[in-house]
Amino acid sequence: MWDPSTYLRYSDERSRPFHDLLARVGAERPRAVVDLGCGPGTLTVGLAERWPGSRITGLDSSPEMIGRAAALAAPVTFAVGDARDWRPAPDVDVLVANAVLQWVPGHRELLTRWAVELPPDAWLAFQVPGNFAAPSHRALREVAGRDRWRQPLAGLLREAPVGEPVDYATLLTGAGCAVDAWETTYVHLLPVAGADHPVLTWMEGTALRPVRAALDAAGWADFRAELGARLAEAYPVRQGQVCFPFRRIFVVARTGARAEENP
Ligand SMILES: C[S@@+](CC[C@H](N)C(=O)[O-])C[C@H]1O[C@@H](n2cnc3c(N)ncnc32)[C@H](O)[C@@H]1O
């Protein structure tokens, strides 16, 4: 289950990649714009502000997230739905998926399908975290691999759920798109507030969700204490804050003209 309030704790840091991604989307008057995995909808609203004449839809598989988004009362249609079942209508000129495809196994096949099903000259823009080899995730996998948790957490934490920028560029170029792919490492400076290490607080909003759901209350309390100790070693507190480098991968693809339209 996604908790919108926990997710929004670092909304400034989490929203910046969305803006950096959208800055490379050059659509002027898209007919329809879809934000897949829109979460609490706060960023989707920005799409409606940028393209006020467009039909904007936000889709997310979490009813809790869509409940929060619908309460924004914005000119956006929010609906519960799974990205894997979604198919573009013929007028979807912009498709955005920010920080969602790492949760969707088989997303490479979806990307290829969308590249083919979107209309010509449409924009397909997505961003995924590229930090699965970072100390935070290594610590998470290490603690999860200990005897006590190996069985309840079996299969929950994938080592490499996303590709590299070159993989996505190759995939989408092969599907007939013009591709702009890059990566950025943000150095987040997270203030210490309260007893918990701030990287632990950050991870509770995203990567730790499935772990929490799989453990009972006592197990979760012990797991989080052990992980917190590991994170405190990996990300030491200096001047009341920690440096939390976070690599992200960005892709903006523009679909090509269809062969049947250019005989
Ligand atoms: C890290 S949040 C990102 C939310 C938003 N895009 C943002 O940038 O703030 C990931 C979101 O993806 C959604 N999600 C995960 N798997 C999904 C799927 N198969 N279909 C649709 N949404 C999905 C989750 O419910 C969650 O709201």
**Ligand 1 closest atom vs CA 86:** 20
Q: Where are the domains of the chain?
A: 4-261
Residue 240: is its pLDDT beyond 80?
yes
Which of 100, 204, 208 most suits a substitution to test ligand 1, by most atoms within 8 Å of the C-beta? 100
Express the helix, strand and coil content of the chain in percent, nearest 5 each. 40, 20, 35
Q: Distance (Å, rounded) from C-alpha 159 to C-alpha 6? A: 24
Q: Distance (Å, rounded) from C-alpha 55 to C-alpha 72? A: 16
* CATH architecture classification, 4-261: 3-Layer(aba) Sandwich (3.40)
Using pLDDT thresholds of 50, 70 and 90, give the confidence band for residue 160: confident
**Ligand 1 closest atom vs CA 83:** 20
pLDDT digits (tens, 9 = 90+) for 128-151: 999 999 999 999 999 999 999 999
Q: Distance (Å, rounded) from C-alpha 193 to C-alpha 200? A: 12
Q: Quote the ligand 1 centre to 101 CA distance (angstroms).
A: 8
Q: Distance (Å, rounded) from C-alpha 88 to C-alpha 98? A: 17
Q: Is 150 in the pocket of ligand 1 (CB under 6 A)?
A: no
What's the rounded mean pLDDT across residues 31-45?
97
pLDDT digits (tens, 9 = 90+) for 192-221: 988 899 999 999 988 899 999 999 999 999
